[in-house]
Structure 1
Amino acid sequence: MRKLAEIEDLSGLVRDALGPGCRVVAVDRLRGGSRKGVYRVRVDGAPMTSVIVYSWAETENFWPGRNGVDNGDPFAPASGLAPFLAARRSLDGLGARVPRVLLADGSRHRCPADVAVVEDVSEDTLEALFASDPVRATAALNDLARATDAMHRHRAPEHGRVDLLEQGGTASGVSCEHLVLGRALRDLEEASDRDRRIAAADGHLRDRLHGLAALVTPRAEYGLIHGELGPDHVLVDADDHAVLIDIEGLMHFDIEWEHVFLQLRFGRRYPALSRPGLDAQRLDLYTLAMRLSLVAGPLRLLDGDYPDRAPMQKIAEHNLKEALALLPWRTGTPLPLNKG
């Protein structure tokens, strides 16, 4: 049985952040966190009525364990206080809005895990505002475009997560396209083990990935990307600024990887974020790779006890169909049914 945080676990931490007169009155774990716990903590006796607590406790990580993870791989799981703070420094330096940190502690003295107390920006995500307040959403989307432009123009001669590069480390892989291809082939193998439709198309998908990768030409500088920048990872503050969250995976990488994700997640609103000059060959390879990642990842998460199962199943099913639709099928033969 997982032990998630309760009032008594977070009260001392929040008092240290806000002062001894602060009293915690309610704690709610927010939905969606799969690698860290995200808690809205409501308080009395402080200048603010609530804060957000991030907890990177092992019991908050719902992903099944994987052996042999290469920490130099930009796609390796990014979790913990160090990558969060490194990402926040980088984004803040570029003028991209991120939550203000009120307390950060990796000592394990206050809590048996890395923790941070940050400002509670808003309960409004950009995704929610698209439906409830289109005027505010448009302003925030334009602000997000400004932030992503600043990030993508911030170039580095090496790819890799910012916390690794900040420490003088070197990322794995000779190139971004090489890393994406290797990851896509692993995702394909995992997805094939879990779904007959992917298994039936395994050879065609494998050939397609190799063919697309062969068309990509070398590159020697890389922009700064969030990695999972969907409208659910953008909060909107009282001034209609876009506030980036879930930033631990921030890395220097091909900006085409970000643009593929932006296009998938923002849909008809993507033109506000689109920019000229993107590499068409990279976009083709990364689109298929992203679809396979969004099949294998959710299915892997569902191997465990992740609670919000229906949305993950929906993500996997949608992206499975989209991945198969990218194949140049010529026979018109129906694909086999899912194992389930």
Structure 2
Amino acid sequence: MAAGAQAARSAQETASPYAVVEHGRREDRTETEALSGIVHEALGAGFRVVGVDRLRGGSKKGVHRVHVDGPRAASVIVYSWAEAENFWPAADDIDEAHPFAPASGLVPFLAAQRRLDRIGVRVPEVLLADDSRRRFPADMAVVEDVAGGTLEALWDTAPARAADALSELAAMLDVMHRRHSRQYGRLDVLERGDKASGVSCEQLVLERALGDLGEAAERDPGIGSAAAALHDRLQQLAARVAPRREHRLIHGELGPDHVLVDASGHPVLIDIEGLMFFDVEWEHVFLRLRFGERYPALSQPGLDPARLDLFMLAMRLSLVAGPLRLLDGDFPHRALMRGIAEHNAREALALLVE
């Protein structure tokens, strides 16, 4: 498959097209003034904000590129975790300690950024974190602008540079996956001394998959007609998984659009709020979906085939139910979400005949 075709297919797997400017869309004056105050606090009064672009940053937070003039011309990225930036429908009785609870906010972001930086995994530098809401009605962070583009984009524009970055990304993942814990759960939950919900990773994945199947069956006719068979298949795959007592540090949603490449060609991980200790196979199933024919560069020995089988079907069902749930709200990129749901519904049904 050609690189361009692979990138197009990759874009259909998940939706977080970070770092693509929505051309022509500018912040309003009030929001720009608020962002200016935050950036001045981060960089110093000698810098003057000269422009703000809103970037497509996924579905849970606002992402703004703020251009400044001063001792050196530059730009920074501002994340804002405002309610208005979260396109997911509100849910009642969310268990915040659940590994699959929505991973969004300044606290999980800072916990993940500190841990990854400490172990030598490149992430954007944090210039300012602000939860006071004095200048802006949301928690915010000003971070380094890694302006070299995404790894996904580089596959078409600079394939040799992308190949080098992919190789380095494999080494970074090895560093992460060698960090073990007897407990599983999102990093910020574990750091505050809480225990994650559930009895095992595989049981959590099964429960989530059954819930996703129920949602998807109500909205997608193909999934609905095969719901009983998919339910039985999930139970069969879960029964093959042996207990495990050790978990590894994973990103949890790592696609080539969640990897920036800096000016020196080094990969930089973003959208890190979901960093957690979990079964490493959950990471590899997602990597396989998003990196496609390039996944072998990231594969690791010793993965559990039984977990991979269960997690793959679970992931497909999640990528049907999740996008359809997002369409209940006013998420703007609706055709993309619909395409993701339809693609993954076909792939989930194909797993019944393997």
TM-score w.r.t. the length of structure 1 is 0.94
Which deviates more, 248-257 or 14-23? 14-23
Counterpart of 1:102 in structure 2 is: 127
What's the CA shift for 1:311? 1.4
Task: Give the corresponding residue for 1:334.
Answer: none
Which amino acid in structure 2 is aligned with residue 274 of structure 1?
Answer: S
Cα offset, 1:31, TM superposition: 1.3
Spell out, residue by residue over 1:94-153, the C-alpha distance to the aligned partner (whole angstroms, 9 max, x if none).
111000011001122222111000010115100000111011101110111011001111
- Residue 133 of structure 1 is matched in structure 2 by 158
How far apart, in 2, do the equivalents of 1:140 and 1:323 lie? 31
Q: Which runs of 4+ in 1 moved over 2 A?
A: 2-6
Corresponding residue number in structure 2 for 1:220: 245
The answer for the alignment partner of 1:243 in structure 2 is 268
Partners of 2:207 and 2:73 lie apart in 1 by: 47
Partner of 2:15: none
Selected match of 1:306 from 331, 334, 339: 331
Which whole-Å CA distance do the structure 2 matches of 1:148 and 1:302 have between them?
A: 32
Q: Are residues 1:284 and 2:309 paired? A: yes
| Correspondence for 2:22 | none
How far is the alpha carbon of 1:5 from its aligned partner?
Answer: 7.5
SS in 2 for 1:326: helix
Matches of 2:71 and 2:302 in 1, distance apart?
49
Distance of aligned partners of 1:214 and 1:112 in 2 relative to their CA distance in 1, 3 Å threshold? same
Residue type at the aligned position of 1:185? L
**One-letter identity of the residue aligned with 2:335:** A
Q: Percent identity?
A: 67
Superposition RMSD in Å: 1.5
1:328 is aligned to 353
Alignment pair present for 1:78 and 2:64: no
* Matched AA of 1:290: M
The 3 A distance-change label for structure 1 pair 146 and 5 is farther
1:220 CA drift (Å):
0.4
Moved more, 284-293 or 122-131: 122-131
Match of 1:166 in 2: 191
| Partner AA of 1:129 in structure 2 | L
1:270: which partner in 2?
A: 295
Which residue, out of 41, 52, 62, partners 1:37? 62
**Could you list the runs of 5+ residues in structure 1 that have no partner in the other structure?**
330-340
Q: Distance in 1 between matches of 2:270 and 2:159?
A: 21
| Cross-structure match for 1:145 | 170
Change (3 A) 1:248 1:3: farther
- Structure 2 equivalent of residue 295 of structure 1: 320
Are positions 1:120 and 2:151 aligned together? no
Where do 5+ consecutive residues of structure 2 fail to align?
Answer: 1-26
How far apart are residue 4 of structure 1 and its match?
11
The count of aligned residue pairs is 328
Q: What secondary structure, in the 3-state scheme, does the structure 2 residue paired with 1:294 have?
A: helix
Query: Cα 1:310–1:123, aligned 2, differ >3 Å: closer, same or farther?
Result: farther
Aligned counterpart, 2:39: 14
Change (3 A) 1:32 1:194: farther
Distance 2:29 2:228 in 1: 43
For structure 1, which segment, 119-128 or 275-284, has the greater mean C-alpha deviation from structure 2 after superposition?
A: 119-128
Aligned pair partner of 1:181 in 198, 202, 206? 206
Distance 1:39 1:5 in 2: 14
Are the aligned partners of 1:53 and 1:115 in contact in 2 as well (CA < 8 Å)? yes
Match of 1:63 in 2: 88
Aligned to 1:333: none
Residue 3 (structure 1) shift: 9.0
Q: Tell me the equivalent position of 2:5.
A: none
Residue 342 (structure 2) aligns with? 317
The one of 60, 85, 89 equivalent to 2:114 is: 89
1:192 to 217, 225, 238: 217
Q: Which string of whole-angstrom CA distances, capped at 9 and with x for unpartnered residues, describes residues 261-292 of structure 1?
A: 00000001001000110000000000000000
- Contact 1:87/1:163 (CA < 8 Å) preserved in 2? yes
2:353 is paired with a residue whose SS is coil
Partner of 2:8: none
SS in 1 for 2:122: coil
1:180, distance to aligned residue in structure 2 (A)? 0.2
CA shift for structure 1 position 48: 4.6
Contact 1:140 1:241 in 2 (8 A): yes
Q: Match of 2:72, as an amino acid?
A: P
Q: Aligned AA for 2:264?
A: D
Hey, what's the Cα distance between the residues in 1 that align with 2:28 and 2:132? 20
Match for residue 28 of structure 1?
53
Task: Give the aligned residue type for 2:331.
Answer: Y
